[in-house]
Chain A
């Protein structure tokens, strides 16, 4: 017979119940507080900037002298140029790399080295990409401080994002489909081109949009590769001087005259609205994609 303490009363009170309740509340606060900050940030920006936005703000060149006139036209067009070229360069290269890694190069030596390179690049600060762009495009390739140099720099910056999201999308395509196509006598490229890619396209596009949102908001690398802070004209070619929306916001924010902060806020509203639109499209795409899978 086991001598022992009297049995525990299982209907009794347990230690630490209140502590746990308190802890869960602390957790809730830890989630809600950052979200409140986000609302605070967005609310403040909208309250300050929304009134400043009109057609003139969108279509005029900025003014150095008067904070109440002028706008973001050159910055808007600069961002557009940058994004289009960035997408045109990074998407084909990124998707191509993803195709190689998923469909061709599994277990090859090149594949392994590329894996490590991508893992490393994804963690490199964006400003370092700016320095690469400065050394490689602006100086060595002598492109100068031009739209094309800025766009190529951004393209390299978002390349890991494009590759990683494209690989995710390719991985959702079942191997049995690949084997079926190969079994019918299709070549590896025919299989990839006509079976795998069409199924992965929505996922790839979602990732591409997210990569482009990243590029739109980037400032630091553009500063380094010489986007100008103040310019009156939209770029008119690949070799033009340029600025970008976040650059313009940066310029207004760091302007010692406080009244320009209103312009910065208005610029931020435009920037955030653009990102919101892009992300909504990405979410719509993803939802449609997911529905098709079931």
Chain B
């Protein structure tokens, strides 16, 4: 796309350069101003990386990477038995995210299939915005719901479910993510050309086999992008787990137990009164850097997948 465009073919561009010449420096100033506005996004991106890396570097000067990644205990606030092993927090994040995905993926995918292939246009016009409402509820409200409603409710059926546990916030996080999965998956399913549906129906296949074995597999890269984006969202989700997951950095995969996610740890340190500049305080930047790296990886995969989807639908 960087090849020089032929002047003749683009009258709009030609008109623009002429207009700029006629209008003096004012136009140029405005364009520069707008360019500066858009450059803020770059500054923010760079800023995030710099802040995290610089502060985390201070932390890693005191705590070597081998201790950070080679220990399964996380007790930075203990006076005499300090451990800086990130794994309990990573595990808390992974388990809650996995539960969220186990909810959001089937629900979101089924909703997408129903809305795009089965629902009457009227039903679709009603259900789609209703589903979007789920994504508009602030996470603090979901956290309250997980702690005060869902956990007591689940405790009736699940013996040994702690008051703060990974299951309840995981489920609620999943509900929050359903609209994201369903709307992205629906876009992907919608982008599958009708000629493929006709091809399968023309062979005498029923509607459901056509959807499940032709349409959905053809929409695969878009659906995968929806998944990775949802995972990234779940990993970064904060308030629901900070309120309802129990805030104990345990290295466990049992969803009935309390745990602490990376995000919840950052919140808990931030709201407390640990003085700035101490090693304990700097842990949040090390944790934040790991968190950022994880979400960035998922986002990059998403970006790749959706580019592939766009290339496919163009072909």
Contact = CB atoms under 8 A, between A and B. Distances in A.
B306 to A, nearest CB: 9
Interface residues of A, number: 95
B141 A45 contact: yes
A272 B141 CA distance: 9
Given A30-B114, A34-B134, A121 B175 contact: no
A229 B19 CA distance: 55
A20 B264 CA distance: 43
B127 interface: yes
A247 B119 CA distance: 40
Contact of B238 (A101, A125, A182): A125
A220 B138 contact: no
B215 to A, nearest CB: 14
A189 B303 CA distance: 33
A93 B40 contact: yes
Nearest to A258: B148
A128 B48 contact: yes
A288 interface: no
Interface string B41-72: 11011011011101100000000000000000
Given A96-B33, A217-B139, 8 more contacts: A27-B113, A34-B175, A104-B31, A120-B45, A175-B12, A182-B19, A261-B148, A279-B136
B41 A128 contact: no
Given A110-B35, A121-B41, A124-B292, A220 B114 contact: no
Interface string A110-142: 110110011111011111111110111001000
Contact of B27 (A111, A125, A187): A187
Nearest to B43: A117
A179 B238 contact: no
Interface stretch (B78-86, B154-162, B206-214, B252-260): B206-214
B41 A131 contact: no
A117 B1 contact: no
Contacts of A131: 48, 51-52, 266, 284-285, 288
B144 A24 contact: no
Contacts of A253: 140, 143-144, 147-148, 243
7 contacts: A20-B208, A44-B149, A96-B37, A100-B31, A134-B270, A135-B55, A218-B138
A124 B47 CA distance: 13
Contacts of A103: 34
B263 A159 contact: no
Contact of A217 (B31, B140, B285): B140
A45 B35 contact: no
A220 B267 contact: yes
Interface in A184-216: 185-189, 213, 216
Contacts of A185: 19, 22
Contacts of A113: 42
A226 B276 CA distance: 12
Which bracket fits the contact residues of B?
A: 35 or more
Given A110-B35, A187-B19, A127 B48 contact: no
Contacts of A14: 206
A108 B130 CA distance: 40
Given A45-B144, A224-B267, A20 B42 contact: no
Interface string A17-58: 101100110111011011101101100110000000000000
Among B52, B236, B267, B270, chain A packs the most CB atoms within 10 A around the CB of B270
Contacts of A24: 114, 118
Interface in A124-173: 124-132, 134-136, 139, 156, 159-160, 163
A280 to B, nearest CB: 12
B232 interface: yes
Contact of B23 (A19, A127, A187): A187
Interface in B253-298: 263, 266-267, 270-271, 276, 284-285, 288, 291-292, 295-296, 298
A105 B37 CA distance: 12
B20 interface: yes
A250 interface: yes
Interface residue SS majority, chain A: helix
Contacts of A189: 23, 26-27, 30-31
Interface string A238-258: 000000001001100110000
A217 B143 contact: no
Nearest to B33: A96
A100 B178 contact: no
Interface stretch (A63-71, A80-88, A263-271): A263-271
A275 interface: yes
A107 interface: yes
A237 interface: no
A27 B110 contact: yes
B11 to A, nearest CB: 7
A64 to B, nearest CB: 16
B45 A220 contact: no
Contacts of B38: 96-97, 100-101, 105, 110-111, 114, 163
A117 B130 contact: no
Nearest to A44: B149
Given A99-B34, A187-B22, A114 B39 contact: yes
Interface string B120-158: 000000010011011011111111110111000000000
B302 interface: yes
Given A187-B19, A213-B136, A31 B131 contact: yes
